[in-house]
Amino acid sequence: MKKKKIFLVSEYPSLDKPTNYSWIKTRVEALKDTYEITVVRFIFDSCERTQIKKTELHGFTLCEILIKKGLIPKFRVFTSELKLRNLLFLLFESERPDVIHVHFSRNYSWVVKRVATMLGIPYFITEHATFFEESVNQFYYGKKIIRALNGANRVFAVSHYLKKTMEKYISNSQQIIVKYNIVDVEKFTKKERKIKDRNFIYMVSVGSLDLNDKKGYELLIKALFELKKENPTFRCDIIGEGPNKGYLQKLINDLNLEENVFLLGGISNDVLVDYYNEIDFFVSSSKIETFGVAIIEAMSCGSPVLSTKSGGPEEFINDSNGILVEKESWQSLYEGLVRMCIQYKNFDRDLIRNYIIDNFSETSYKNIMLKEYGDMK
């Protein structure tokens, strides 16, 4: 039986940034044995000429649409969209996918909508982003993105928290289906600790160090400063890159936390799994979190979690796998840290991992999408 063709239109991990959008790669891995998968990725301004570049990877095709920047700045937006539309039309018309599945309702989603509608190809949109409202409120792109969402055959949100936000902009909010993100439970698996007799409490947090500090690291560092007064024997590694790194390092230095808090930069998933298996617990201090992929990666390795009530995490963190505290408050984070430093040994790590396998594995996602894609005849 011939496999259905599924085109996933999305950002995708690159050679220089292998951990970026890793959750998209996980979805591809879950589906590639069942469907003929092509990932369509757009790259603007970094090429000598507009073109389509195809690369055969392990079990799927990566199709990069390279859009050359226009010469006249005032018209670059319009010329780039026109070039993108023309190339997408050529690609979709020649390949004739059964379903086009767009991830993130960014400025390209409405271009996909227009081409898919012209060719009579059903298209889905999955929204992941914390900046969703920023996108739909843009002066030029916002209304176009909303039209793309309202015209889609399926609209997915990665959490009920995100769905509630999206309902304000979609005319038929009943069509929004919640499909959680997933984790590669074979890669992020529970292993025996390398260091068994450690004389300090070890925690890790993973996220981008952006200037808006959406991950709440300034608050976390202040909470750790208070924790050191009570319990000086701890280590917190913050894994991630971003433009706020210099400011956060200065804050660490100013609070004399150089021997307790470390900014490690970006780390590949192959190495990250080893960190998750060594920690006593994972920390998420986010101000807003539409889901929390790093959280379920750590939980897949059996780690309990201390998290702020930042949106998505409330949907899967409970008394059996972690502690929830109020967001945007270093005092609440501090109180949660104190509790977790006492209670982390009481959590059943096998129970935590099994919960992730049952609810957020590739197999569970594959079974869901078999039905969704199968309904598109």
Number of domains into which the chain is organized? 2
Q: Which of 265, 269, 216 is nearest to 240 (CA)?
A: 265
Are 319 and 253 contained in the same domain? yes
- Six token digits for residue 36: 């003929």
For 252, which DSSP code?
H
Compute the distance between CA of residue 142 and CA of residue 168 in angstroms, rounded to an integer: 13
Q: Is the pLDDT of residue 89 over 80?
A: yes
Whether residue 350 is contained in a domain is answered as yes
Per-residue pLDDT of 9-24, as tens digits, reads: 998 887 777 777 888 9
- Torsion-angle region of 242 (φ positive above 0: left; ψ -120 to 50: alpha; else: beta): left
Q: Which of 315, 271, 318 is nearest to 297 (CA)?
A: 271
Local confidence band at 71 (pLDDT 50, 70, 90 cut-offs): low
Are 23 and 151 contained in the same domain? yes
Whether residue 235 is contained in a domain is answered as yes
State the pLDDT at residue 47.
Answer: 63
Whether residue 215 is contained in a domain is answered as yes
Are 152 and 260 contained in the same domain? no
Are 247 and 276 contained in the same domain? yes
Over residues 26-49, the mean pLDDT reads 87
Sheet of strand 261-265: strand arrangement: 261-265, 234-239, 201-206, 281-284, 305-308, 322-325
Are 335 and 246 contained in the same domain? yes
Local confidence band at 49 (pLDDT 50, 70, 90 cut-offs): confident
Q: Is the pLDDT of residue 350 over 60?
A: yes
For 216, which DSSP code?
-
Whether residue 195 is contained in a domain is answered as no
Specify the length of the chain in residues.
Answer: 377
Are 276 and 348 contained in the same domain? yes
| CATH code, domain with 151 | 3.40.50.2000
Domain holding 19, by residue range, is: 5-182+361-374
Are 299 and 314 contained in the same domain? yes
